[in-house]
Structure 1
Amino acid sequence: MARIALVTGGTRGIGAAISVALQQAGRHVIATYAGNNAAAEAFTAETGIETVRFDAGDYTQCATAVAAIAANHGTIEVLVNNAGITRDTTISKMTREMWDEVIDTNLGSCFNLCKICFEGMKAKKFGRIVNIGSINGQAGQYGQVNYAAAKAGIHGFTKALAMEGARYSITANALAPGYVDTDMVRAVPPEVLEKIIAKIPRGRLGTAQDIARGVVFLTADEADFITGSTLSINGGQHMY
């Protein structure tokens, strides 16, 4: 029977590529989204992957959704925390609301879903957790103190969680993408994007599929000796 995999923010961009790659690897995938119904419907029509709408930063909504998934499909054994937003500006202009929104969605969602799914994984004596960090959580980025803090927090959170999960055959790893060719990155002014690409030794942006392949690797049944690690996929831009 296929393992149940939940991918937050799994209907667009990197998340969509992860969802499809896990499906192709034999997982029964459920992708979550926060509010774009049209994109979710189009994604399901194209891939056949079930989608569920809830706010990953809201603990109660997460608990309700996971309970429904478990009732309909069984225990979630593969969890990919990919949901993320940006609210970029310098700290002089950043409001507390902009800080809280990014921390709650990007880091709080990891706590919410890992906590809720952890007991089921313990009972199964199997779990694969991948939390999507970022190169900017490793190296920092101007105008992103909220985003960089959330992503850096994911890296530390993952290492600590790996220690707790090891005895139950639950692995927890982080994956830190570099700059990937998504709508978010393509919205960067061309002259700025050109400078970013110039700093990438491989000479190009990453693709969503580059990241998805890393997630498939870390969530494989056979990947049981890889835990507490951060896999950086960034074309050599930052080695950490």
Structure 2
Amino acid sequence: MNDRLTTIGFDADDTLWHNERFFQLTQAHFAELLADHADRDHLMERLLAAEKRNIRHYGYGIKGFTLSMIETAIEVTDDRVPASVIRQLIEAGQEMLAHPIELLPHAREAVEAVLHTHKVILITKGDLIDQERKLAQSGLGELFDAVEIVSEKSPDTYRTIFTEHGDGPGSAMMVGNSMRSDVVAPIQAGCWGVYVPHGLVWDVEHAETPAENPRYRELEDLGGLAGLVRSME
């Protein structure tokens, strides 16, 4: 295994720009709309179950989330959910798809700090059209040597991407806020995994921290990435 770091992958949602908070706000609105039919905790449990169940059908992203809200609304009302509620859920999903992009602190600086010395790749999952929209609005697109929008972030996904665009997983690092997708999976592929906590994390993305793994790193925020990379040279 080549231990020299030559390639750095960046997650997008909630690593470079805000994302999960829009899901949280929409879930709160969803709970208000269905308050007469289920209490919030029960409703959130049913919604999460629907999201997990539907990933294989719709993949990740806002469209699948919206369909899962509609499905849950139908279930908890025993098929009696008013059409006006369905309409409001569709509108909520459309609003999410149109929300402006807000970069997280140090996002641009972190990418710019390493792009002249390493290959930099954006690796994100979700709906293709929505992810392309967010990248275009972020103003970061021109900084990356490659962009990969994938259906799932598995160890095999990382092996393939870092072999195609770099020198293999052994010389690659993945930076992100999801312990499961951005840290554990890359480490299993042979990469370094750098955890940058965001605070708001979808329940599906939780995983045990691989703290004892020699390829695990953690940063308080992206402002520390350049120093971490220098320390590994």
Query: Which TM-score applies when normalising by structure 2?
Result: 0.45
Query: Which TM-score applies when normalising by structure 1?
Result: 0.44
For the pair shown, the structure with the greater C-alpha radius of gyration is 2
